[in-house]
Structure 1
Amino acid sequence: MADTGLTSSIITLDEEWGAHNYHPLPVVIAEAEGAWVTDVDGNRFLDFLSGYSALNFGHRHPDLVQAAHDQLDRLTLTSRAFHNDQYGAFCRELAELTGTEMVLTMNTGAEAVESAIKVARKWAYEVKGVEFDSAEIIVAAGNFHGRTTTIVSFSDDPLAHDNYGPFTPGFVTVPFGDAEAVRAAIGPNTAAVLMEPIQGEAGVVVPPEGFWAEVRAACDENDVLMISDEIQAGLARTGELFALDHEEVRADLYTLGKALGGGIIPVSAVVGRSDVLGVLKPGQHGSTFGGYPVACAVGRAVVELLRDGEFQQRSTELGEHLHRRLGELVGHGVAEVRGRGLWAGVDIDPAAKTGREVSMALRDRGVLCKETHHRTLRMAPPLVITREEIDHAVDSLAAALAV
């Protein structure tokens, strides 16, 4: 491969940066396919992070690449004054897949969350009758929804929050998984409850069974919207289309992103009730690239991949194998394993190593995985992963912990 001159500059970064949740592993990727990536020196690695679940279908899935190629040969961008021939079909097919009534297309996950916040506030004033500029949204401690100024206003992660103020008001934080705290926080000005069904950045934290049913009931009793941020957890990652489906609970709005673009281009959306999303009237909200033809073409191909449930089934069955194998390491350098489907949070025993040390040792064994909050590894392999590749990754983790 051609020498890019990048490898040495990355590898010599000060290792003290390892305390930063988003400091990259010192690997410069040049090629990728399926569950594997290749660096600029020709070394191959098993990707056990999938772009924080943006690559649910693996790198360069042929159906998604073909959809992008075909659309690039036809039409790439239209003005917001015009529709394109992919837009209506994408919205209709995504609504059918998700069992929702209306779709609002954007580009990034953060834009989807920002849009949901705007919709919830507008709904509160125009439908619920909340006094203007008084709407509140209940959120969870330990959340991660993006990095815009409004979103970091309700983050309690110092890396995301500190030194970016003044912050946007109107958010009430409660402990994640505490239904009574949610109910107690609801007041006359509450517009919505906005939470991840499973917290990803926090370490793949699953709330107690029954939590979402209790939140749904509290929202119904108080005329409050329930918004599920499925940007990481959704689209088959946990074995269901939505992670919330495990609890047989429906949200009023869902935010989608990451895997909706198949790891090829940014695609995000808010999907949900038409009487809620419908508070946005023409000209009140928009995006130059939201719903542009290439995004819609790829999004439609993603919807098609999810339609028959094959990837949901793969996530369920292979996820059981992943969690069983990871569970064997508890007491052998691992303190706890959490998660659902092909998504796991692995707490490293503090007496053993730091998460950064383990992720670097895994890198040296040909597996790419990222730590969060110093001692937790997040594992999110592509849904095209095989049992043998899972075994390879877990065996590599065991070897990394044993050194």
Structure 2
Amino acid sequence: MTAPAPTRSSAELIRAEEPVLAHNYHPLPVVVARAEGTWVEDVEGRRYLDMLAGYSALNFGHRHPALIEAAHRQLDRLTLTSRAFHNDQLAEFAERLTALTGLDMVLPMNTGAEAVESGIKVARKWAYDVKGVPADRATIVVAAENFHGRTTTIVSFSTDETARAGFGPFTPGFRIVPYNDLAAMEAAIDETTAAVLLEPIQGEAGVIIPDDGYLAGVRALTERAGCLLIADEIQSGLGRTGRTLAVEHEGVVPDVLLLGKALGGGIVPVSAVVARREVLSVLHPGEHGSTFGGNPLAAGVGTAVVELLETGEYQRRAAELGVVLRGGLHRLVGRGVVGFRARGLWAGVDVDPAIGTGREVSERLMGEGVLVKDTHGSTIRLAPPLTITAEELESALASLEKVLGA
């Protein structure tokens, strides 16, 4: 993997972005020009081990051969029809995705936020048409510290003031309860509740894993109350935690499943609402849609992603290498790490604030050729491609140990 001769340096490109790009991100100062597998190169040819994987959008690594081949094959035939017409890729994508997840129907969309917005609309429609909630009174229960996206409806039920401040007025109809608190959840559910919307593991909050039994307890509450359980597996799903879905760790089957990120193989935006037939059947022509949702290029790549997951290889890799990741982090507790949470190949690592902020530690790791990203305070997230080797993982952990001890 050799980067092309740069026309502008990394520093020049970063400066060039400043006046012409909205400042809604604060990236690390690296300019990626090429990538392959678990490695990326900047415009000067410096190599970095990618330990973020596009927030799980790159579960299968950069430019996985099977996914690139599927994209090329479809690019040579057909890329878009809109949903005004059928295309020859969508049926197989939906068939295989429902078989993989054990649910019945698919609503294809593009981005993760679109999947969440679509799930909210479907839950409200189901509440009125099926449950019998009076018009405009449906409520959805969510968890504090959630991250489901940044659209206006979604930030309405965020507890992150950075995401909310300056964007009101906010959409009503949501009840926020503490995460991992079954008593609070039970108290919030009533006859107006259309659904409970949860991340099985809260990613942006720092890879927060609930207590054993919490998800099963929420499932029991929703069944008793006659409302839906919506699992947002946009980050946690598709192999990341060592299972196809994170809810599988507790044997929970949601009514509605939200997928995205890795579903597009790091090539195109692909998301989906996957649900029981009774739920998605409330939608009728004209009530919801997307010009690009279910386009043949997305469906072709999405089918190839599902095909990779059908083998179980990537789920096994995440589970086995997760043992290596946890072992390495255990060794660092008390040596710069004050705590961590990990499941599969996903970890939130709390660094001793005396050593630095999460941003500062991420920049130091970049200097060692390892890319991670911070979240709140002194927490960094580790989510490497599921194709990473044990040797690469150990090398990244050694680099973390080095920067913590520097």
TM range (shorter): over 0.9
Picking from 42, 49, 63, the partner of 1:60 is: 63
User: Number of aligned pairs?
Assistant: 397
Q: Distance in 2 between matches of 1:284 and 1:363?
A: 47
Picking from 78, 95, 105, the partner of 1:75 is: 78
Picking from 178, 182, 190, the partner of 2:181 is: 178
Aligned to 2:53: 50
2:238 is the alignment partner of 1:235: yes
Q: Distance in 2 between matches of 1:206 and 1:371?
A: 18
After superposition, the C-alpha distances for 1:162-216 in whole angstroms (9 at most, x for unaligned) are: 1011110000000011111111100111110001000000000000110011101
- Find the residue that maps to 1:271 and give its secondary structure: strand
Q: Is the 8 A contact 1:21 1:371 kept in 2?
A: no
TM-score, with length taken from structure 1: 0.97
Assess, with a 3 A threshold, how the Cα gap between structure 1 residues 198 and 21 changes in structure 2: closer, same or farther. Answer: farther
Aligned to 1:112: 115
| Counterpart residue identity of residue 307, structure 2 | E
Q: Distance in 1 between matches of 2:118 and 2:88?
A: 24
Aligned to 2:214: 211
Runs of 4 or more above 3 Å deviation: 9-13
Aligned to 2:39: 36
Q: Is the 8 A contact 1:21 1:374 kept in 2?
A: no
Q: Is the 8 A contact 1:174 1:182 kept in 2?
A: yes
Aligned to 1:379: 382
Q: Distance in 1 between matches of 2:285 and 2:120?
A: 18
Aligned to 2:300: 297
Picking from 368, 372, 385, the partner of 1:369 is: 372
Assess, with a 3 A threshold, how the Cα gap between structure 1 residues 4 and 176 changes in structure 2: closer, same or farther. Answer: farther
- Find the residue that maps to 2:230 and give its secondary structure: strand
Q: Is the 8 A contact 2:256 2:275 kept in 1?
A: yes
Picking from 119, 127, 130, the partner of 2:133 is: 130
Aligned to 2:311: 308
Aligned to 1:357: 360
Q: Is the 8 A contact 1:335 1:349 kept in 2?
A: yes
Picking from 312, 325, 350, the partner of 1:322 is: 325
Q: Distance in 2 between matches of 1:362 and 1:82?
A: 49
Q: Distance in 2 between matches of 1:10 and 1:361?
A: 21
After superposition, the C-alpha distances for 1:66-124 in whole angstroms (9 at most, x for unaligned) are: 00000011111113221100011110111011111001100000000000000000001
| Counterpart residue identity of residue 399, structure 1 | K
Q: Distance in 2 between matches of 1:374 and 1:195?
A: 23
Identity %: 63
Q: Distance in 2 between matches of 1:158 and 1:222?
A: 31
Q: Distance in 1 between matches of 2:7 and 2:210?
A: 45
Shift of 1:11: 5.9
Q: Distance in 1 between matches of 2:326 and 2:222?
A: 33
Shift of 1:353: 1.6
2:386 is the alignment partner of 1:401: no
Aligned to 1:94: 97
Q: Distance in 2 between matches of 1:188 and 1:357?
A: 48
Shift of 1:356: 1.1
Q: Distance in 1 between matches of 2:25 and 2:334?
A: 28
Gaps of 5+ in 1: 14-19
Q: Distance in 2 between matches of 1:291 and 1:149?
A: 24
TM-score, with length taken from structure 2: 0.96
- Find the residue that maps to 2:333 and give its secondary structure: coil
- Find the residue that maps to 1:90 and give its secondary structure: helix
Q: Distance in 2 between matches of 1:109 and 1:130?
A: 27
Aligned to 1:337: 340
2:170 is the alignment partner of 1:167: yes
Q: Distance in 1 between matches of 2:24 and 2:114?
A: 22
Q: Is the 8 A contact 1:21 1:372 kept in 2?
A: no
Q: Distance in 1 between matches of 2:82 and 2:294?
A: 11
Assess, with a 3 A threshold, how the Cα gap between structure 1 residues 177 and 292 changes in structure 2: closer, same or farther. Answer: same
Shift of 1:266: 0.3
Shift of 1:2: 2.9
Aligned to 1:16: none
Aligned to 2:193: 190
Aligned to 1:17: none
| Counterpart residue identity of residue 5, structure 2 | A
Q: Distance in 2 between matches of 1:368 and 1:355?
A: 12
Q: Distance in 2 between matches of 1:237 and 1:283?
A: 35
Aligned to 2:19: none
Shift of 1:5: 2.6
